[in-house]
Structure 1
Amino acid sequence: MPLNLHLLRLFATVARAGSFSRAAEILHLSQPAISKGVRDFEEQVGCRLLDREPKGVRPTAEGLALARHAETLFAAERAAEEELRAVRNLDSGTLRVGASTTIATYMIADGLARFHRSHPNIDLHLVIANTRDIADLMLGHEIEIALVEGPVEDDKLLARAWRNDVMELIVGRDHPFAAARQPLDRARLAEEILILREPGSGSREVVAQALATHGIAPARTLEIGSTEAIKQAVAAGFGVSIVSTATVADQVQLGKLRQVPIDGVHIARTLWQLDMPGRVQMPAARAFERLIQPPADAAAASNGA
């Protein structure tokens, strides 16, 4: 027998609120109507879904299982409603963009600004976190766009190449490597304090893999959870680091940092956009995607339109 969605909503609200009275306030219905609706629903599914206690209610094992499905169903319903609103010329709605730190700080600011100018009535929210956290937010339906720096191994996510990024060794202007006229012998890097991002960062994964591939094992490492903080530490003469070239253009131009090539080592990485197979994409998300495409891809999309 198909579930009665009205009764399912009553049950799910009571399970989430923890009491019939609070559910009545949320749904603007009378408490007796909700109590009867939940009893009718329990009869329909053939089992008790809530344990009635003096201070409220608690879902049974069956109730917990059904409540999880109900939340997924009603989340899809909310997404459908928001999409329908957004279809009206993108004149309302919300777009939640998740990006790992380097991408958020250095690569999508222009896209965010252009999107806001084109669609000023769409509320933009930018969430900045490391790669693993952004993946989890996408899995939890908490963001519509997910841009990350490192590979993500998750069967529930689809990773599409977004753009390429080059990473290079940076040193302070007074560091001995700064005066090098030839690519640095990789053996010399092993003598340095190498500053890395925190575990879970896509940048760290790429650097660690590249160093291992070339047999480079730094004598000491230091973890700092911010690319900006890493740049400041290196500029002050404390250690060296390998970061995206997109993050250091300003300080290299000011002479505070030097980029030093490493002999035989070229670190180029793919930046990724994550998605969930089968998830309906909102028009606002599609519009934002077009704005942040690399120039060559944008031109191709325009020619194919």
Structure 2
Amino acid sequence: MDQQLHVFVTVAEKENFSRAAEELHMTQPAVSQYIQAFEREIGTRLLERSNKYVRLNKAGEIVYHHAKEILGLYTKMQRLVDDVTNKTSGPINIGASYTFGEYVLPHIIAKMLDQFPLVNPSITIGNTREIAELVLGHQMDVGIVEGDFKSNKLMIEPFAKDAMYIVMAPGHPLARTDRKIEAHELVEATWIVRENGSGTRDATEEMFRLLGIRPGKMMEFGSIQLIKESVEAGLGISLLSEWAIRKELSMEALKIVQVDGLPFTREFSIVTLSPYKTKALDTFLELVRENKMQPNLFGGRE
């Protein structure tokens, strides 16, 4: 059954029998036979076929969703059993929100692989909501998310704090003063923000609430790097993690503007679904917890 599920999921994702056969290192007739046998076992057709594509029908979408969960659980079970006797090794599927995933996680992975070269990490970057859904669907072993994240189904472990600052281009009118900026002066600025579901967007909305402001113009971008480039180009201002802006600050491409009530502080949290963890995952989590999480932007901080 697990092989049938694997073949079915691959065909569904590739939307083509030939590409699926190539991915699975099988012949196309063999893939077709697996799908036909699987559909007979389920009792209905799962795929709509044409000369140009293969697509899931309504029943297929239901089976695909659960097949992904079943395969994730099966893989996790195999890893845990193998882990009883083996060394710290094997795959880890790690999901991380953008700030942590792009600016902190690479350093932790490098340290882990230096000490445990047999570990094979796979990393998916998404917003906080997307990562939590992947962990819930057994498609990620662990997620690292931002902000005041809550879930009744996931185990959540806050492990570090992150300071966030308002940044703008050095040539921006509000950046041309050494005095603290009043909150009302920020209302007229164009704000560049992340999409809904992002931890950075949640932090920005909470900051607006705390400062008692609501900007009239906001542009929504789906990438921190794109936001930084846009702010540097003078398109607007943004609230970003100190981890994301340290390189631009050192190059004087961006400037932090002092505002009463800032920096805004949020938490990074580890989210998992199962209490059972492989040695490789336990090792990764230990390194995450040990990480100082301090980019040392300002003198005197550690």
Q: Same fold (TM over 0.5)?
A: yes
Query: C-alpha distance in 2, partners of 1:191/1:104?
Result: 32
Letter in 1 for 2:282: R
Aligned to 1:155: 152
Aligned to 2:43: 50
**What are the residue-to-residue correspondences of 1:87-126 with 2, within 5 Å?**
87=84, 88-91=86-89, 93-126=90-123
Give the SS at the match of 1:127: strand
**What are the residue-to-residue correspondences of 1:251-290 with 2, within 5 Å?**
251-276=248-273, 278-290=274-286
Aligned to 2:287: 291
Aligned to 2:137: 140
- Structure 1 residues without counterparts, runs of 5 or longer: 1-7, 40-47, 56-63, 298-305
- Structure 2 residues without counterparts, runs of 5 or longer: 12-28, 49-60, 294-302
Distance 1:10 1:197, change over 3 A: closer
Residues 94, 141 of structure 2: 8 Å contact kept: yes
**What are the residue-to-residue correspondences of 1:141-220 with 2, within 5 Å?**
141-220=138-217
Report deviation, 1:271: 1.1
Aligned length: 266
Query: C-alpha distance in 2, partners of 1:67/1:188?
Result: 51
Distance 1:178 1:90, change over 3 A: same
**TM-score, normalised to structure 1's length?**
0.73
Query: C-alpha distance in 2, partners of 1:241/1:206?
Result: 11
Distance 1:74 1:187, change over 3 A: closer
Query: C-alpha distance in 1, partners of 2:163/2:255?
Result: 15
Query: C-alpha distance in 1, partners of 2:283/2:123?
Result: 16
Residues 171, 235 of structure 1: 8 Å contact kept: yes
Aligned to 1:238: 235
Distance 1:119 1:140, change over 3 A: same
Give the SS at the match of 1:194: strand
Report deviation, 1:282: 1.5
Residues 185, 263 of structure 1: 8 Å contact kept: yes
Query: C-alpha distance in 2, partners of 1:213/1:144?
Result: 35
Report deviation, 1:234: 1.0
Query: C-alpha distance in 1, partners of 2:8/2:288?
Result: 41
Distance 1:213 1:81, change over 3 A: same
Residues 170, 258 of structure 1: 8 Å contact kept: yes
Report deviation, 1:73: 6.4
Rg bigger for which structure?
1
**What are the residue-to-residue correspondences of 1:17-36 with 2, within 5 Å?**
none
Give the SS at the match of 2:285: helix
RMSD over aligned Cα atoms: 3.8
Give the SS at the match of 2:248: helix
Distance 1:73 1:183, change over 3 A: same
**TM-score, normalised to structure 2's length?**
0.74
Query: C-alpha distance in 1, partners of 2:68/2:228?
Result: 44
Query: C-alpha distance in 2, partners of 1:102/1:217?
Result: 24
Per-residue deviation, residues 150-169 of structure 1 (Å, max 9, x unmatched): 33343211221121001111
Aligned to 1:60: none
Residues 165, 262 of structure 2: 8 Å contact kept: no
Query: C-alpha distance in 1, partners of 2:252/2:159?
Result: 31
Per-residue deviation, residues 174-226 of structure 1 (Å, max 9, x unmatched): 11222322221011000100110111111001110121232111121011111
Identity rate of aligned residues, in percent?
Answer: 26
Distance 1:15 1:223, change over 3 A: closer
Letter in 2 for 1:131: T
